[in-house]
Each structure stands twice: as structure tokens, then as C-alpha cells.
Structure 1
Amino acid sequence: MYEQFKARAEGVGAEVYRFKDRDGALAFILPFLHQEGGAATPRRSCAVWAESPFLEGLDWEPLREVAGIRFEVNRETAADARIGITQAEWALADTGTLVQDQTAVEQRLASSLTDIHIALVPTGNILPDKTALLSKIDPRASRYIAFITGPSRTADIERVLTIGVHGPERLVIVCVDDMGGATL
């Protein structure tokens, strides 16, 4: 399932990486933040990380100090951030789409106001298609479900494609094998 998801997501412009555990994912994310955030203007150099199960049990202070991550996600911090990090509950292999419960406004801000969106997803939650997904979602528990397929793109009347106008210009998907499953 992962290979099909990766091929489809990369086909629409996303970057996809897979790690065995949270430590492996962090070992990728932290240097990525230094590389991508350091090249930005001072105003757009920080990263925001929306609260998620991935963060449970982690000491946030070293992440704040070493990587400059802000965990207080609001309109101002998200607008100032170059990179937003969120967790998606599901992924769809047939389209390379992430599915995220964005009922919490912090999820929407971190995934849509930044230049680069890093989305964490449990590898075990890659489903074959939307039909499989709909059998797992409880509409009473989730009021705002977002489907994210690739970086933001739009085209004008002359069919000139532009990336990043209405959202992030880059989508980096980090699949983590031992994150377990999420419930909606």
C-alpha cells in the first residue's frame, strides 16, 4: 500500500519519506528545518507544529531551542512561519491524498498558511481508497475533514500553472511505521 501511495503522491508533486519510528522521523525533520528555515528571511524562518499524537511524551523545550519550533499555533505565528508541521490521520493509496481532521483551527493554520507543509502519517493508516476511508470516519466526531493532494496549485484562464498561491508550495509527507493507528 505504501509504494502505491508514494508513487501517486510524488506524481502530484509531494515528497514522500518513510521511517521506522519517531526517532527516525525526527532525525529527518530537524535537519530539514535548519536547511529550509535557515534560507528564509528572518520573518519567515521559524516553524509551527500543531499539537498531535506524534508529540505525546516528547520534551518540547529542546525542539523550541534547537530547531526554533513554535507550538503555539495561531494566525500570527502561522503567518510568520515558513514551515508548518501537522499529523494526518489517513492517506489514500489510489490518489496519493492525505486525509486530516482539521476541526482544530491549529491544524488548518499550520497546513495552509506556511510555504512548506510537513505532514506526518502513520504508515499503517494508508488505505486503498476513499471507500475504505468512509467506513472508518465517524461524522459525529469530525466536523472538518481536509483532503490534501500535493502542494497548492492553481491555473489561470490561459492554463498557466502556478504552485503555492493558495497554500504551501511544498508538501513533504513523512510516513512513520510505528506511529500506530488513529481513530476518527
Structure 2
Amino acid sequence: MSSDARTHVLTRIRRSLNRGELPDEARAELDRRINEPKPGVVPARATGEHAALVERFVEMAEFAAATVTRVPGMEAVPTAVADWLKGHNLAPKVVAAPDATLDGLEGHGTLEVTRGVAHPADQAAVTPCFAGVAETGTLVLLSGPEHPTSLNFLPDNHIIVVRASQVVGGYEEAWAKLRAQGAVPRTVNMVTGPSRTGDIEQTLQLGAHGPRRLHIVLIDDHRRGTDSGEG
């Protein structure tokens, strides 16, 4: 909607409510609240020392039916991915996000890696994430040229690589972190466990609208005093 069209629509709404233009003070206050949002009430489980938040993230992710493998560094990720695929009788073949944070994924001798968007025949996808939320075990995934959204939903198996240094307490921290980096991407997906739905008898079915398995490879970089990684 153009600026002129927006002004026309808002003017008509104000007239229907018998309201005039907002005073400059009120407009400035609204702009301030938009640009400097204040968090609401944050639950206790979203607070604490970072090491405790990482443990809580793992606990909540597993509670949501995700599985977690912890590794000391990116160099161990290819083996962790290959072992997980083998453990589920899946071919050692993945489609991965063309993101630089996954460089080295091709380092495993038996793992076949292609980069780009997902296709219907792809069985497993590997993506990085922007943040992990300890409060609910949720993973924050951003769209963009290096993060095709199809990888999050099309394959039956989704493997997400997250660094411990990317774990935050609550959603408010994740949004603040996202705003701080500048422009917000077109799509922000928050994923908690594999896709699921319940029928009329509330029988839980996994994989109804997306991956039936969600596996997290957690890089314990916080134990080495680093803060590298995406975001």
C-alpha cells in the first residue's frame, strides 16, 4: 500500500470514529514503543545462567519429541549427521542449506551432500538456525538465499545444527537479537519438535504438515569460551 493510500484509509477510519490527527506527543510515544519494545512477563524457566539455559533447551527439545546429539565442534557434525541417518536406516544423503556456517559438512567420506532448496524426493535436510529458545526448546529459523524455507518443511527428516552460544532464555531475547542485526527477514519460522497433529480422538500423528523427525546437533562451543556462529 502506498503512503498516499495508507493516509487515505487511516483518515477515513479516524473520521468514522470522530477522531482527529494524533498529537505529535502521542505519535512520538507510539514510535518509541515500536522502536523500543518492552518485554512482558518472562517465566522463570527462561532465565538463569547460560549453561543452565543450554541444559534446559535440551530438556525442552527432547520433551517436544526432538532428539539431540551434542558434539564439541563443527568438525564433529558430519559424523553426527551420518550416524543419525544410519541409525534410522536412511541413505547417507542430505540436502543442506548453502550457508557458510555448515562448511565442512561434506567432510564425512560416506555422506553425500547437495546444497540448495529441497525437492519432494529429498529424505533429509540439514540447516543452521538463528537461535535456540530454552523456554520451550524452540528453534528460530530465518529465510533467505542461504536459508531456503523448503528445507524446513519438505523432507521427512530435519537436522538442525545449533551452537550453544546461540541459545537464549525466552522468545523476547530471540526477537531482540533478531532486531539488533538489522533488517528482519521475510519469514521467521519457530520450530518446536517434529510436525504433529491430533485427529478428532486426539490421537497424535507426527509428520502431518512437515518433518516427522527433528534432530538437533548441538555444538557445545560455550564450554570452550567461544561465541561464534550464525547470528
* TM-score, scaled to structure 2: 0.67
Listed as ranges, the matches of 1:158-177 within 5 Å are 158-177=201-220
Q: Identity percentage over the alignment? A: 28
Listed as ranges, the matches of 1:6-25 within 5 Å are 6-25=58-77
Amino acid at match of 2:133: L
> Based on CA coordinates, which of the two structures has the bigger radius of gyration?
2
Q: Does the 8 Å contact 2:70/2:220 carry over to 1?
A: yes
Residue 55 (1) aligns with residue 102 (2):
yes
Corresponding residue pairs, total: 172
Two-structure CA RMSD over aligned residues (Å): 2.3
Q: Structure 1: which 5+ runs fail to align? A: none
2:110 partner SS: helix
Q: 2:157 aligns with which of 101, 116, 120?
A: 116
Q: Does the 8 Å contact 1:103/1:145 carry over to 2?
A: no
Q: 2:142 corresponds to which residue?
A: 101
Q: Which runs of 4+ in 1 moved over 6 A?
A: none
Q: How far is 1:46 from its partner?
A: 3.5
Q: How far is 1:162 from its partner?
A: 0.7
Q: How far is 1:13 from its partner?
A: 0.1
Query: For 1:22 and 1:172, how far apart are their aligned partners in 2?
Result: 16
* TM-score, scaled to structure 1: 0.82
Deviations 1:135-174 (A, max 9, x none): 1112623221110000000112221211001111110011
Query: For 1:171 and 1:73, how far apart are their aligned partners in 2?
Result: 18
Query: For 2:166 and 2:142, how far apart are their aligned partners in 1?
Result: 14
Judged with a 3 Å threshold, the aligned counterparts in structure 2 of structure 1 residues 158 and 132 are, in CA distance, closer, same or farther, namely: same
Query: For 1:87 and 1:107, how far apart are their aligned partners in 2?
Result: 11
Judged with a 3 Å threshold, the aligned counterparts in structure 2 of structure 1 residues 39 and 100 are, in CA distance, closer, same or farther, namely: closer
2:57 partner SS: helix
1:32 partner SS: helix
Q: Does the 8 Å contact 1:121/1:173 carry over to 2?
A: yes
Q: 2:5 corresponds to which residue?
A: none
Q: How far is 1:59 from its partner?
A: 7.8
Q: 1:28 corresponds to which residue?
A: 80
Listed as ranges, the matches of 1:67-82 within 5 Å are 67-74=111-118, 78-82=119-123
Q: How far is 1:130 from its partner?
A: 0.6
* RCO comparison, higher one (Cα < 8 Å, 6+): 1
Q: 1:133 corresponds to which residue?
A: 174
Q: Structure 2: which 5+ runs fail to align? A: 1-52, 222-226
Q: Does the 8 Å contact 2:156/2:211 carry over to 1?
A: yes
